[in-house]
Amino acid sequence: MNRRTKILIRRGARGLTGYLLAFFKWVLAAIALGLVCGLVGAVFHLAIDRVTEYRLGHPALIWLLPLAGALTLLLYKLCRVGYWVGTNLILETADGTDHIPILLAPLIFAGTVLSHLFGASVGREGAALQLGGSLGYNSGRLLRLSEEDREVLTMCGMAGCFAALFGTPLTAAVFVLEVLRVGTMRYNAFLPCVLSAYTAGYTAKLLGTSPMAFSLGQAPGFTPVTGLQAAGLAALCALVSIVFCTSVHMVGHFMGKFLKNPYLRIGAGGLLMAVLVWAFGLYDFAGAGGHMIEAAIGGSAPWYSFLIKIALTALCVGAGFRGGEIVPTLFIGSAFGCLAGPLFGFDPGFGAALGLTALFCSVVNCPLASVFLAMELFAPGDASLFVIVAAVAYVLSGYFGLYGSQQIVFSKVRQKVIDITAQ
């Protein structure tokens, strides 16, 4: 064996050792963080379920929504955490441009529970991403890891809490990889995000949470005709997504401009929400509205429900209530799909499933995660039509999105770097 061969063997051995050490480091770190996120996510999941159940039995609680908003603001002020710190900060931190306060996790937990207890039209994914991101990032700081490793742990935490809350680990892992920089994916985070998501999802299930899942019955398979029908429905969903994203951003901008005092802003938003719910009997539209998603997929959502949910979610998010926009997005998409599906020859329930998938893809700009979401929520025998609605909605929704810090790196229609933030 000559000298050159010996050098190559030694270099190869060192390289293999490095890969193995990195592999085991991330396996252990991701599983450990997944266990923590599964525990925290399960407690959060059960808390949201309990307060929602209580609110449904006590509808008059909606009148205390302004006080709940003011209390949430006060908690953030007492803990010296900026109130408008949210999911955008988590995205920026995972992308290496910001840092997460250590108290963000308990604050978003408390704020979201208060929002759901008193009926704000918000979701819970924002809380899941912020909880997980905070846990991951601050665990990295505690262990004195490098900035790059803290970014990966932030992503692992996001995936873990998302999986624990929704019971969709594959969607959670791919969503976190896709959502940061549209058009590129950090494959170095793929293994730890997958491990964290599945560990957290399984842990939460063991602790008594139920994954979000729906029964579709017999779903139509792909033919050229059903493919065109699905594409037509997706095109309309893309238009609805633009209306929704624009409404959320515009209402937030309007309220911030004319109600500069945050207590006045959240109080006025909460009071208006309470008046609208009481005056028009919109109790089904308070909170995230999971039971209305089930109704839509069952084929029985009122035709106007998607419009009301857009308006109330824009109001509550714009006013500053904690939670998120994804469960309301699933509500809006399923309700619109239930209405528009029959226009394209689909059963209302199947149209609701397609609409949910298309709208989710449109507002988060994550086509792969959207397909996996459909597979985990509906378990269709043939996922072809869900792939089509995700693909069409992704392109036709343009560069709109719910997260203002989301970077869209590549054009959706050309092989060109544009590197802009979502509108």
Q: Number of structural domains, the chain?
A: 2
**∠ CA 27-32-33, rounded to 5°:** 100
pLDDT of residue 92: 66
Region of residue 417 (phi > 0: left; psi between -120 and 50: alpha; otherwise: beta):
beta
Contact indicator for 120, 323 with CB cutoff of 8 Å: yes
Region of residue 119 (phi > 0: left; psi between -120 and 50: alpha; otherwise: beta):
left
Rounded CA separation 201/170 (Å): 10
209: three-class secondary structure by DSSP: coil
Chain mean position to CA 329: 9
Q: How confident is the model at residue 79 (pLDDT cuts 50, 70, 90)?
A: confident
399/311 same-domain check? yes
137/228 same-domain check? no
Contact indicator for 321, 69 with CB cutoff of 8 Å: yes
Contact indicator for 165, 108 with CB cutoff of 8 Å: no
Which of 154, 174, 206 terminates a domain? The answer is 206
244/109 same-domain check? no
- Cross-strand partners of 55: none
Rounded CA separation 418/148 (Å): 24
Is the residue at 362 inside a domain? Answer: yes
pLDDT of residue 8: 47
Q: At what angle do helices 262-280 and 65-78 cross, to 10 degrees?
A: 160
Per-residue model confidence as pLDDT tens digits over 257-266:
888 899 999 9
Q: How confident is the model at residue 16 (pLDDT cuts 50, 70, 90)?
A: low
Which of 206, 233, 252 terminates a domain? The answer is 206
Contact indicator for 288, 221 with CB cutoff of 8 Å: no
CATH of the domain at 72: 1.10.3080.10
Rounded CA separation 61/133 (Å): 31
How far lies 15's CA from each of 19, 121, 210, 352, in Å? 6, 52, 43, 51
Q: How confident is the model at residue 419 (pLDDT cuts 50, 70, 90)?
A: confident
Q: Calculate mean pLDDT across residues 337-342.
A: 96
Computed on alpha carbons and rounded to an integer, the radius of gyration of the chain in Å comes to 22
Q: Calculate mean pLDDT across residues 198-221.
A: 90
Structure tokens of 50? 């309990």
Q: Which residues contact 333 (CB under 8 A, 6 or more apart)?
A: 237, 240, 306, 352, 355, 356, 357, 358, 359, 360
Which of 206, 238, 258 terminates a domain? The answer is 206
275/412 same-domain check? yes
125/247 same-domain check? no
Helix %, strand %, coil % for the chain, to 5?
75, 5, 25
pTM: 0.93
309/394 same-domain check? yes
pLDDT of residue 380: 79
Structure tokens of 324? 């998120």
- Cross-strand partners of 181: 407
- Of the candidates 173, 168, 161, the one whose C-alpha atom is nearest the C-alpha of residue 211 is 168
Per-residue model confidence as pLDDT tens digits over 346-377:
999 999 999 999 999 999 999 999 999 999 99
Structural domain containing residue 354 = 224-421
Structure tokens of 31? 């599983």
